[in-house]
Amino acid sequence: MTRYLSAAGITVCVFVALFTSCAHRHDNPMDNACEILVVDYDGNTFDTESVFPQRDTLSLVPKDGVVLSEVVDLCVSPQHIYVLDANHSLSCYDRMSGEMLKYVRAIGHGTGEYIMPRAVCTKGDEVYLLYERACNVYDVGLNFKRKVSIDLIPLDFIKVDGGFLFCNLAPSENLKRLVYTDDDGNVIDSYLSSTLLIDAVMSTHCFFADEHSDVYFAEPSSDELYLWDGQGVELCYRSVIENSFEGKPQATSEKEGYAYNTKWFRLGNKVVNSFLYLGNRYYNVYDTTTRASVVGQVDVTENIPFAPYWQWNDCLFGAYHEDDASSGGERLVVTMFGL
pLDDT in tens, the chain (339 residues): 444 444 333 222 322 233 333 433 333 434 678 999 998 888 888 889 999 999 999 999 888 888 888 999 999 999 999 999 999 999 999 999 999 999 999 999 999 999 999 999 999 999 999 999 999 999 999 999 999 999 999 999 999 999 999 999 889 999 999 999 999 999 999 999 865 554 445 568 999 999 999 999 998 888 999 999 999 999 999 999 987 655 454 434 345 568 888 899 999 999 999 998 888 899 999 999 999 999 999 987 788 999 999 999 999 999 998 887 776 677 899 999 999
Report which of 165, 142, 138, 162 is spatially closest to residue 154, judged by C-alpha positions. 165
Q: Which residues contact 32 (CB under 8 A, 6 or more apart)?
A: 24, 25, 234, 235, 236
Residue 265 sits at φ, ψ, to 5 deg, of: -145, 155
- Amino acid (1-letter code) at residue 134: A
Q: Which CATH superfamily is domain 2-338 in?
A: TolB, C-terminal domain (2.120.10.30)
Note the pTM of the prediction, 2 decimals.
Answer: 0.86
